[in-house]
Structure 1
Amino acid sequence: MQEIYADLHIHIGSACGGQPVKVTASRKLNFQNILQESLYRKGLNLVGIIDSASPLVINDIEDLLDKGIMEELPEGGVKYQDKLFIILGSEIESREENGGQAHYLAYFPFLSQIKEFSQLLGNYITNINLSSQACRLTGREILNIVDELGGLLIPAHAFTPHKSFYGRCFSGYREVFSDEEWEKIPAIELGLSADTHLADFLSELAGKSFLSNSDAHSLGKIAREYNKMRLEDINFKEFKLALQRKKGRCITYNYGLDPRLGKYYSSYCLHCQKTVPLTGGERCSLCGSQKIIMGVKDRIINISKRNKSISPPWRPPYVHQIPLADVPGVGKKTLNKLLKSFGTEMEIIHQSGVNELSELVGTRIAGNIDKARSGKASIEPGGGGVYGKVMG
């Protein structure tokens, strides 16, 4: 067995020809640049590129395969330079029967399957070239399509107030899925404003693996959240076994932001224009207004059927971390200096000692890095679409 680092929600800002894919993402975020950044700066072993159903991106993938830069694996997945492995995926926005919208991540073993998925989805999406477009299908209908094609489906950023499974649409899975259908979903993605402690307030998630992914909209945001996985080899088959926790494969650690740093951790009153505690379930405690954006913490407590978080014995640790680029004192020059010395961000975070860091960047910045990677930094909570702040 080997342990590897994986970020399984990375967007494509544009195709290699410059055509837009994810409109809100950086144009530098194309397939080739993601591979370079993930391997040589971040130090990842496995990435999920979730705009791979766009025909523009499919053309880029086929070009890289034809040139021998990438290679498709018999067990599913794609290999880049024998060091980085790619899971091809798609983010889809549903239209649920109750009027809600939720985002789902679909992962497929082979390019042929995601091409077929793209062709099918084109019947329900106005512009299949663009990422995360509104789809005239419910989550149940999307699950059935993905399952028939041999893929996996999981709810994306499952608790955020906008366009998510629990945050926007449902209080429980039975509102959309049967028990049999729910069993086909091996995991949920936590999102930047949630962690294991918060998610495990919901008893129905006791059988699901949790993924902590970056949802990167720029190259620098890749691996701001990531997972450590135990696999025999790196391919789609092993990835699926890890999510299902079968044959010794599993997620061994989740690494991610303290939820208080997320944009939607705290509830936000649109009248007061500030984050506020709630009273009576859905009212601002300061002005009584119901014009609020309910934060992830309040939403989870609101829909939970129990008053405490209970994690199953097998649940891996969730380690609160702050990305290196967000650590006080670590600017672009300092980060490049660290990378030149240690190799990748994973090596800086997981292998460098405080004394080694101090010799290179001084005791103050070394101390900030150590606090950032161990969850000890001071934080001002975020909410209402504004990220929290690292105070030091």
Structure 2
Amino acid sequence: MNQLFADLHIHIGRDMYDKPVKITGAKQLTLTNILLESSRNKGIELIGIIDCHVPAVQEEIIRLINEGLAYELEEGGIRFERTTLILGSEIEVYDEHCQGPIHVLCFLPNLHAMEEFTAWLAKRMKNITLSSQRYYGTGKALQYKVKELGGLFIPAHIFTPFKSLYGKGVKHSLSEILDADLIDAMELGLSSDTMLADQISELHRYTFVTNSDAHSLAKIGREYQEMNMKEASFQELNLALHEVDGRRISRNFGMDPRLGKYHSTVCSQCFTPVSYSASTCPTCGSKKIIRGVIERIEELSDGVKPNRERPTYQYQVPLEYLPGLGPKTYQKLLKNFYTEMNIIHKATFEQLIEVIPDKLARSIVDMRKGNLFVRKGGGGRYGKILPEEL
């Protein structure tokens, strides 16, 4: 088995005609730029681009194939240099059984299946050229179509207060809107981790994935996983998510949940922490209270412990989060160690101090061990890495 890194939730900002795909995505976040960044700078072998339902994105993939820069794998996926692209689509579901909209990730094995999916979605979606658009139908009907096309179905960032399975979609159980047997994994999101999610017993059966939800090139690999697979392909990803014949996720790498911008319940106007049941802020009187992930999980927790051993969940942050690590230092590190994955996982302290100051090298080593000081986030504002404990 090979140990490969995977980030399965990356958006496209602009298509090959410079038209927006993800409105909030950076203009530089094109399909080709994502592939180049993942292969050359990040060192991530498996990426899921979740706007591949867009016709212009499919055109760009076909152009890369025709130019000899990429090719389809028999086992599913598109190989570009050292990285395999898994074709995905993020979709907003809001059927009559939902308390509110939820986002889900749908992955398909090849271009033909994704083109079929696009044609099907176009009859149930107002604008097929944009990301994360509302699909008019039931969650279960969407699952059935994905499975008919040989795909994978993963609810996205399942605890965030907006547009997620537990944050907005259901009152008590995922079975209110989805077929539990047709879910291949659960994406935790930035404000939760394995230990928190496993407080909910209906999640014990699923593999947890940790992905960046990148809206810029720099955010690729903000969260990711290390996977034991024979090669980077769709088929191997499917086997790993279901832990077949030694394929599995060996480690999840994610930010400390306290860094997530929806971790705790706060007033979105003045960012004062408030109780989960509060209707108004005691400080400024605002009624704009954003419920925190930690409190929502406590509300859903049923006290049943999982009967399976989970992969290690290792707290980690992108290099750009570390105090004192600016663009020039980042480029110097890349010049010496080639990829972010090499810097984060392989470079020794002795090797690092030959390139950067001791203090910064120590920060990178401490980050590997999860030894970081954190100010928690909430209400739409990210937490912060502190240079020392306050």
Q: Runs ≥4 in structure 1, deviation > 3 angstroms?
A: 281-291, 310-313
Distance 1:312 1:346, change over 3 A: farther
Q: CA deviation at 1:65?
A: 1.3
For 1:138, the equivalent position in structure 2 comes to 138
Taking the aligned partners of 2:244 and 2:20, their CA distance within structure 1 comes to 39
For 1:356, the equivalent position in structure 2 comes to 351
Q: What is the aligned residue count?
A: 384
Taking the aligned partners of 1:304 and 1:96, their CA distance within structure 2 comes to 25
For 1:303, the equivalent position in structure 2 comes to 300
Distance 1:312 1:286, change over 3 A: farther
For 2:147, the equivalent position in structure 1 comes to 147
* Percent of aligned positions that are identical: 45
Matched, 1:127 2:127: yes
Q: Which amino acid aligns with 2:294?
A: K
Q: CA deviation at 1:173?
A: 1.4
Maintained 8 Å contact 2:258/2:375 = yes
For 1:25, the equivalent position in structure 2 comes to 25
Taking the aligned partners of 2:365 and 2:125, their CA distance within structure 1 comes to 46
Write out aligned runs for 1:1-392 (5 A). Answer: 1-81=1-81, 83-97=82-96, 98-170=98-170, 171-177=172-178, 181-270=179-268, 273-278=270-275, 281=277, 286=282, 291-306=288-303, 310-392=305-387
Instruction: Give 5+ residue unaligned stretches, structure 1.
Output: none
Q: CA deviation at 1:183?
A: 1.6
Q: CA deviation at 1:154?
A: 0.7
Q: CA deviation at 1:374?
A: 2.1
Taking the aligned partners of 2:280 and 2:386, their CA distance within structure 1 comes to 26
Instruction: Give 5+ residue unaligned stretches, structure 2.
Output: none
Q: CA deviation at 1:285?
A: 8.4
Q: CA deviation at 1:359?
A: 2.2
SS at match of 1:360: coil
Maintained 8 Å contact 1:195/1:259 = yes
Maintained 8 Å contact 1:69/1:80 = yes
Q: CA deviation at 1:49?
A: 0.7
Alignment TM-score, normalising by the size of structure 2: 0.95
Taking the aligned partners of 1:353 and 1:150, their CA distance within structure 2 comes to 43
Alignment TM-score, normalising by the size of structure 1: 0.94
Taking the aligned partners of 1:329 and 1:355, their CA distance within structure 2 comes to 19
Maintained 8 Å contact 2:227/2:240 = yes
Q: Which amino acid aligns with 1:329?
A: G
SS at match of 1:18: coil
Maintained 8 Å contact 2:93/2:138 = yes
Maintained 8 Å contact 2:281/2:289 = no
Taking the aligned partners of 1:278 and 1:284, their CA distance within structure 2 comes to 10
Taking the aligned partners of 1:333 and 1:61, their CA distance within structure 2 comes to 32
Taking the aligned partners of 2:13 and 2:268, their CA distance within structure 1 comes to 31
Deviations 1:83-121 (A, max 9, x none): 211100000001131341000000000100111111111
Q: CA deviation at 1:289?
A: 7.8
Aligned-residue Cα RMSD (Å) equals: 1.7
Structure 1 stretch 38-47 or stretch 93-102: which is displaced more?
A: 93-102
